[in-house]
Structure 1
């Protein structure tokens, strides 16, 4: 019997609603056999990709691409350019001439190569001289390719991909430029004595106040926290500032997952100088929902959100104003926020485990905090780049 030969791969731009539906649905088909893959809510993915819904498009543009072979959709990728990223200093990772790609899904190496080539061609046509990825879609969404930690499902707002993708991307000429580390730590038994001593000393310091957020002043609190974030992270690799409309969008998206005792603001002499956001891991619920709240997902979700029991909590964002970074005060505030939230998390949410990250591989301050509480690496993501000569 003659071997079946596959036809050529064709790359087509997403133009219609049906194309976009295929773009979203493909991830479900290709990842369905992976027990660690958490299906995102499809409505959220559509919002991410849609100008007018996602305020990223106020300063960015994207081209979604589909790969087809023998009449079937076999891959997808996004190519995109962020004007705010182009305006950043080149030594910070983004900068002039740097375009991005992301949301890669492919059935095999041939499809992946064709998609990456098409994304690079589009970026070249837009005048870009370097491709950096994967980013889905901005550095604030799901950056990086998972290269370590495939066995367990990711926590909320962390990506997951096939372990095959790494070789396919590297074979296409991409080199690693930055690692993003995620840490895990058991929280039921508390932290080492040195951390307890730092927290106890901080509690006696009359200059320091650690407070819960006030959900009745949600918009003001969101602006305050994101203002600290834009300052705290401004020198970090890959930083792109969040705009006012993005801050409002993120706040609205996360509002149902905001619990006052899980988000803390640190004040010194009455000035807010640091924050820590902790979210219950809704992925524990989503993993069984196949991307839809219908027919009964709404009821389960609303019931869970009333008072979530979350075995794992994730710390997606934490920041201390630049003027205090690398000071003893900064680490004191960090340990106090972590410890205060840990105490409430065990009692109120039945939590046993904390997930912290991602952390840039050169962020010595956060790595020192992770080491001090004896957290261990549980997932590593990698961002790549390639010159577009």
Structure 2
């Protein structure tokens, strides 16, 4: 068995095609678009290359067949925000073989060590954390757009190598065919009548304004919560909007304002994976036509909440209920949608967990973000461990 760096089209094709082979009999898996993975590793397109670097490898068996893949990367913007210099690994796939997985992990580790890094977190994305983030450990069902799906044995591959739980990512499902709990709805109606509060949904014609509002809200909301916070780069947000342009529904992205100042937002996207599962990761002309045909047939019945933020001053004001009130009015006019997926929320974000539970949403799946310290004698620190209140977590995740 040997490791081969991805440097040419043949090697890149092997990197892209391996999951098709690995998951060929798993109906839960949706092949990511080749074009999007290529863009993630293109310095001309991915803004993370402005302050980072990424490399890819494939593992080959003695017959020259691909049996695994991995990428490693770093982001210098986060170097000073952590207690160790931390790099990342992701896009990991492997057959159920510790030797293969360990060789891939060793390769990523060695590359990061050579760059001066002291740990690696994975599996994560070389980009924003709304996609390609975390190892699925519970809830092996079809995943919503952007959420990672992997085979059940991946948990053992990571943990037996020495990766430790850094934080949990919880996913909730909200049945839109049921009414919101009465208490939640009363708060929502009350907040919508309060003077000074207004709500707007996203408008592509005013993208620059809404990007500015998103950055303003996000940076205020998350700077107080996350110890490893780095300000949201507008370029990254424009890149995300580019990726979702063909599926975005402007009426599913809502902003709240107080005295015309942005204070909160929630972004939901149609779960296009319900269509993409038929396209095998290819976005050529015929598949674009097929996509539009499926879309007209209202194949998409679920939307995923991908991002949210509320500035600290208004985090206990009920404004999030006001946004859900607006969303409910919209979804009542789109009866083919039957479910919201609210994912993901970290185990350290108890306020958002409580909000999702207050809507009547049910916890259905869990991902783990792991970290591996290169110095095995160094004390391990969970992410924001002091903020994790396990009494408020769903009981079924604590034994994982």
TM-score, length basis structure 1: 0.91
Q: Does 1:271 align with 2:264?
A: no
Match of 2:77 in 1: 84
Cα pair 2:274 2:299 within 8 Å, conserved: no
Match of 2:325 in 1: 339
Query: Following the alignment from structure 1 to structure 2, what is the Cα–Cα distance between the partners of residues 222 and 306?
Result: 29
Q: Any gaps of 5 or more consecutive residues in structure 1?
A: 1-8, 91-95
Deviations 1:298-342 (A, max 9, x none): 1122345579552111111111013333x2x1xx11112113212
Question: Counterparts of 1:56-95 in structure 2 under 5 Å?
Answer: 56-70=48-62, 71-90=64-83
Question: Counterparts of 1:85-234 in structure 2 under 5 Å?
Answer: 85-90=78-83, 96-107=84-95, 108-140=97-129, 141-150=131-140, 152-234=141-223
Q: Does 1:369 align with 2:369?
A: no
**Relative to structure 2, which stretch is displaced further, 32-41 or 210-219?**
210-219
Corresponding residue pairs, total: 371
Cα pair 2:189 2:325 within 8 Å, conserved: no
Deviations 1:84-118 (A, max 9, x none): 1213243xxxxx41111111111122100110011
Match of 2:247 in 1: 257
Deviations 1:242-271 (A, max 9, x none): 323212211222233222211111011221
Q: Does 1:48 align with 2:49?
A: no
Match of 2:281 in 1: 291
Query: Following the alignment from structure 1 to structure 2, what is the Cα–Cα distance between the partners of residues 205 and 350?
Result: 32
- The alpha carbon displacement at 1:50 in A equals 1.6
**3-state SS of the aligned residue for 1:226?**
helix
**Relative to structure 2, which stretch is displaced further, 208-217 or 365-374?**
208-217
- Deviating above 6 A after TM superposition, structure 1's stretches of 4 or more consecutive aligned residues are none
**Relative to structure 2, which stretch is displaced further, 342-351 or 203-212?**
342-351
Q: Does 1:388 align with 2:391?
A: no
Query: Following the alignment from structure 2 to structure 1, what is the Cα–Cα distance between the partners of residues 217 and 295?
Result: 27
**Relative to structure 2, which stretch is displaced further, 191-200 or 135-144?**
135-144
Cα pair 1:219 1:248 within 8 Å, conserved: no
CA RMSD, 1 decimal:
1.8
Cα pair 1:346 1:352 within 8 Å, conserved: no
Cα pair 2:191 2:321 within 8 Å, conserved: no
Cα pair 2:121 2:369 within 8 Å, conserved: yes
Question: Counterparts of 1:315-354 in structure 2 under 5 Å?
Answer: 315-325=305-315, 327=316, 329=317, 332-348=318-334, 350-354=336-340
- After superposition, the Cα gap between the structure-2 partners of 1:253 and 1:307, relative to the gap in structure 1 and judged at 3 Å, is farther
Cα pair 2:211 2:234 within 8 Å, conserved: no
Deviations 1:281-306 (A, max 9, x none): 10000111111134632112234557
**Relative to structure 2, which stretch is displaced further, 297-306 or 50-59?**
297-306
**3-state SS of the aligned residue for 1:211?**
strand
Match of 2:14 in 1: 22
Cα pair 1:75 1:115 within 8 Å, conserved: yes
- The alpha carbon displacement at 1:222 in A equals 2.3
Match of 1:6 in 2: none
Query: Following the alignment from structure 2 to structure 1, what is the Cα–Cα distance between the partners of residues 266 and 353?
Result: 16
Query: Following the alignment from structure 1 to structure 2, what is the Cα–Cα distance between the partners of residues 237 and 182?
Result: 22
Q: Any gaps of 5 or more consecutive residues in structure 2?
A: 376-400
Deviations 1:225-247 (A, max 9, x none): 13312321223255443323212
TM-score, length basis structure 2: 0.88
Cα pair 1:185 1:375 within 8 Å, conserved: yes
**Relative to structure 2, which stretch is displaced further, 243-252 or 110-119?**
243-252
Query: Following the alignment from structure 1 to structure 2, what is the Cα–Cα distance between the partners of residues 211 and 15?
Result: 46
